[in-house]
């Protein structure tokens, strides 16, 4: 056993050294990630579908964030470049340019403030109190020559959440989508978030990245395979394209963690138990209107209570889809998840998409959806319908291997609701000049075998013991309407106002428990929007 650990440790060091050597050798590179934001991604898809230029390279639109290397500039320029004429320096900065821009022949550096200042009120069954957000940050990005680029973002956040989000955040001890939080003025949450990467493209078919961030696989609002719901995590990514761009392959190795601390040490705060994760996605487009994708996600054992830190298996370092599942199957201590993704463009304005997730013989899920762009002949508008269903105990592991649950910092790596649910959502978006309106309706039902979340939460072991013999049912409806005014496309800077309503009916199968909770809240604010936060749960 000791010899096996030594061999694995040697392999780990060799491969890690090789990866860093590759990045250091090619330190003159380029090509940034486009912001991972649902609304901006929708606009990019719309530009692709309405394009009449068949000579432009094929664009794979299911693996996000999109990388400039593989995204035709003619599509993204319409989103991020403002071609209007402004006659004053202050209006140019406000509506068109980055706050700081340094540009030479082979060098470019930009810097922008990032913020979200919001204030509102929430009303529940029995209380009325204020909610607010206070985010301050900065983004710095740059290009050196035509091959190398980098970006870094830093955020400092304080939040007073609506009641239902506050309950979820307290249970998970995290700020939603950000990371571990600490108390702020008794009822608030204080959390920091950082992300960044260095990116190298030696040619138009290969991109290498090393950094910390989020990823998303799919064409829907939700993803059953991999979403950007959890906190940013360190990662090493390789993306390649073959056969005249008909085939794209993305391999991501990530170092994630639980929020369970290691045994006490001399330090003030012990480190958290870590785990490795690999996500592989192979996308194939046999014709321009059809894309098929195969996905494998694996959470690897990196810590064992009896021996402490354990070297990751060599499979973690092999950027080949299906290796771990082929060797160990779906029921191994390393948690493997397989998936299929498909999207088909019926017309220039209509797309159908879907996903199939397999997490074992009895653990699976599926997604069906459709998008209608340019609806009712209104430019820059879209309507999206989506249905998601996930079986009980999906993404979870037995108590012996609960560390390998499909989670990061106590947050779901796939759908933010967890498992054992059915969900229907309807979304719509309309633009008129700089004015934007987005509406949302979400309905879902979720079952659980206990009040603690057995069968519905991936944080609870699949073999958790309970003396309860009743089943619990939660029915949730969520609706919201938001109106915003867009200032600067570079950072998606907006003035906004939002009104939301949430109703939850919670009951037991023996009719001994029946609770009805409602919450309505409004917020107004000023923000830059480059990331997604899934507060609609």
DSSP states of 449-479: SSTT-TTT-TTS-TT--------EEEEEEEE
d(CA 463, CA 465): 6
Q: Greatest CA span in the chain, whole angstroms? A: 72
Point out which residues pair with 526 in neighbouring strands. Answer: 117, 495
DSSP 236-251: EEEEEEETTTTEEEEE
Q: Which tokens sit at 515? A: 């609770």
User: What is the pLDDT, as a whole number, of residue 54?
Assistant: 58
User: What is the pLDDT, as a whole number, of residue 25?
Assistant: 36
Domain 22-262+271-528 indexed as CATH 2.40.160.130: yes
Instruction: Give pTM, 2 decimals.
Output: 0.91
Point out which residues pair with 236 in neighbouring strands. Answer: 210, 253
Residue-level pLDDT, tens digit, the chain, 537 residues? 444 445 445 444 444 444 433 333 333 335 899 999 999 899 888 887 776 555 556 889 999 999 988 887 777 777 887 777 888 888 888 898 899 999 888 899 999 999 999 999 999 988 889 999 999 999 999 999 888 999 999 999 999 999 999 999 999 999 999 999 999 998 899 999 999 999 999 988 999 999 999 999 999 999 999 999 999 999 999 999 999 889 999 999 999 999 888 876 656 567 888 999 999 999 999 988 899 999 999 999 888 877 778 888 888 899 999 988 888 888 788 899 999 999 998 877 899 999 999 998 789 999 999 999 988 777 788 999 999 999 999 999 999 989 999 999 999 999 999 999 999 999 999 998 899 999 999 999 999 999 889 999 999 999 887 777 889 999 999 999 999 999 999 999 999 999 999 999 999 988 888 999 999 999 999 999 999 999 999
User: Are 219 and 341 within 8 A, CB to CB?
Assistant: yes
d(CA 108, CA 339): 39
Return the domain boundaries, the chain.
22-262+271-528
């Amino acid at each position: 056993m000791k010899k096996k650990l030594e061999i694995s440790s040697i392999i780990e060091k060799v491969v890690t050294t090789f990866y860093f050597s590759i990045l250091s050798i090619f330190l003159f590179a380029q090509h940034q990630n486009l912001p991972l934001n649902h609304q901006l991604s929708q606009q990019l898809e719309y530009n692709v579908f309405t394009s009449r230029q068949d000579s432009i390279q094929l664009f794979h639109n299911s693996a996000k964030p999109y990388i400039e290397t593989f995204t035709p500039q003619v599509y993204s320029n319409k989103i991020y470049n403002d071609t209007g004429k402004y006659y004053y320096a202050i209006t140019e900065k406000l509506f068109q340019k980055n706050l700081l821009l340094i540009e030479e022949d082979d060098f470019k550096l930009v810097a922008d403030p990032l913020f979200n200042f919001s204030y509102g009120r929430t009303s529940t069954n029995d209380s009325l109190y204020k909610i607010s957000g206070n985010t301050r940050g900065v983004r710095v990005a740059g290009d050196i020559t035509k091959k190398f680029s980098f970006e870094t973002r830093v955020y400092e956040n304080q939040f007073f959440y609506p009641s239902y989000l506050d309950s979820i955040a307290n249970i998970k001890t995290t700020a939603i989508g950000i990371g571990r939080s600490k108390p702020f003025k008794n009822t608030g949450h204080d959390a920091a978030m950082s992300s960044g990467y260095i990116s190298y493209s030696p040619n138009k078919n290969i991109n290498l990245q090393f950094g910390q961030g989020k990823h998303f696989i799919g064409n829907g609002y939700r993803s059953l395979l991999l979403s950007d719901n959890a906190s940013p995590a360190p990662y090493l990514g390789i993306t390649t394209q073959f056969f005249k761009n008909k085939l794209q392959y993305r391999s991501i190795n990530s170092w994630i963690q639980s929020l369970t601390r290691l045994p006490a040490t001399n330090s003030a705060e012990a480190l958290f138990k870590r785990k490795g994760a690999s996500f592989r996605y192979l996308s194939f487009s046999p014709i321009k209107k059809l894309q098929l994708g195969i996905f494998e996600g694996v959470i690897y054992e990196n810590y064992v209570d009896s021996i402490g830190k354990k070297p990751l298996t060599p499979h973690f370092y092999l950027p080949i889809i299906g290796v771990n599942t082929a060797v160990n199957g779906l029921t191994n201590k390393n948690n493997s998840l397989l998936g299929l993704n498909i999207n088909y463009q019926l017309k220039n304005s209509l797309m159908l998409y879907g996903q199939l997730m397999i997490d074992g013989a009895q653990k699976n899920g599926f997604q069906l959806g459709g998008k209608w762009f340019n609806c009712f002949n209104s430019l820059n508008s879209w309507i999206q319908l989506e249905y998601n269903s996930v079986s009980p105990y999906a993404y979870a592991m037995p108590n012996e291997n609960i560390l390998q649950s499909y989670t990061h910092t106590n947050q779901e790596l796939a759908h933010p609701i967890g498992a054992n649910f059915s969900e229907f959502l309807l979304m719509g978006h309309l633009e008129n000049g700089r004015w934007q309106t987005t509406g949302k309706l979400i309905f879902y039902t979720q079952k659980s075998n206990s009040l603690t979340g057995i069968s519905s939460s991936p944080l609870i072991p699949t073999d958790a013991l309970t003396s309860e013999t009743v089943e619990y049912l939660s029915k949730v409806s969520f609706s919201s309407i938001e109106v915003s005014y867009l200032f600067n496309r570079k950072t998606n800077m907006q003035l906004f106002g939002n009104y939301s309503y949430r109703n939850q009916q919670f009951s037991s199968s023996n009719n001994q428990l029946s609770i009805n909770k409602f919450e309505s809240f409004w917020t107004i604010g000023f923000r830059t929007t480059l990331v997604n936060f899934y507060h609609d749960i």
